[in-house]
Amino acid sequence: MTQVEQEKALELIPRSVRDKLDRVGIKLHLKEWQALTLAERERVRDWPCESAEQAGLFAAEVERLVSRVTGRPAERVARS
């Protein structure tokens, strides 16, 4: 897959990422997602989030990335 194809594939937030965000109670807006580099998007997409420890590390990484691109904390939502 070319760089352009990879970027296009991750232009929108994948379902797998949305599921992990729901699990940790973080609302990630499309503009925030699109402000991440391709490498960051791939890392978030591929980050394991099965155990409580993995979920905590995933949440911390997403919060760090959102803070970097927006200058404010990630929006939290009630977990379902």
Whole-number mean pLDDT of the chain? 93
Q: Burial-class residue 20 by CB neighbours within 10 Å (0-12, 13-18, 19+).
A: buried
What pLDDT does 2 receive? 83
Spatial CA neighbour of 49 closest among 79, 22, 9: 22
56 alpha-carbon distance from chain centroid: 13
Give the separation between CA 19 and CA 2, rounded to whole angstroms: 26
Model confidence pLDDT, tens digit, residues 10-25 = 999 999 999 999 999 9
Tell me the whole-structure pTM to 2 decimals.
0.88
